[in-house]
Homo-oligomer: A and B are copies of this chain.
Amino acid sequence: MKYCSECGNKVSYYTPEGDNRPRHNCHFCQIIHYSNPNIVAGCLPVYQKNKILLCKRAIEPRRGYWTLPAGYMENNESVEAAALRETREEANAEVNIISLYTLTSIVHASQVQMLFLAELPTPEFSSGIESLDVQLFSFEDIPWNQLAFQTIKNALTFYIEDYKAGKFPLHNVVLKAPPKQLIKP
């Protein structure tokens, strides 16, 4: 941020009194502009418990790689609504959310990703505008070397392990290392 989004004057970057980190301050509006992490919400859609719905990305970053349906949460919606909307937009699929399954803080990208375990009740889906392809994968067919992001690889790995154990607890992950492909999950 270089200019105040309310008045258009230049902002000053320094630590306000009583605060402990630098912010963008507007002297004209007398306001502080905060910048905060974004939320990415999505689903891990499962059909008959052992087939997982993946989408092949039609957009950068990681075009052509496989991912779970997920995207930025919008204002005035719940996390679950965002996850369902992304699943609808990217895979034309209607799923039933079971529970929050992964919560990942991607520290270097100031992003928090929440993926919900979800049931795909019928094998009905197709490519949305942001997908080149959408397919159901058996565990043994998952394209591990063509996954778009570390968070997706983690979620699929967790699911296959949890499937054997028959329990699907929340997995809480903090990613700090900045491999390039993690910057925009």
Contacts and interface: CB of A to CB of B under 8 A. Distances in A.
Q: How many copies are assembled?
A: 2
Interface string A1-42: 111111111110000001001000000000001111111000
Interface stretch (A67-75, A137-145, A152-160): A67-75
Contacts of A170: 99-100, 170
Interface residues of A, number: 43
A75 B110 contact: yes
A181 interface: no
A46 to B, nearest CB: 19
Contacts of A146: none
Interface string A56-100: 000000000000000011111111110000000000000000011
Interface of A: 1-11, 18, 21, 33-39, 72-81, 99-100, 103, 105, 107-108, 110, 112, 114, 129, 170, 172, 174
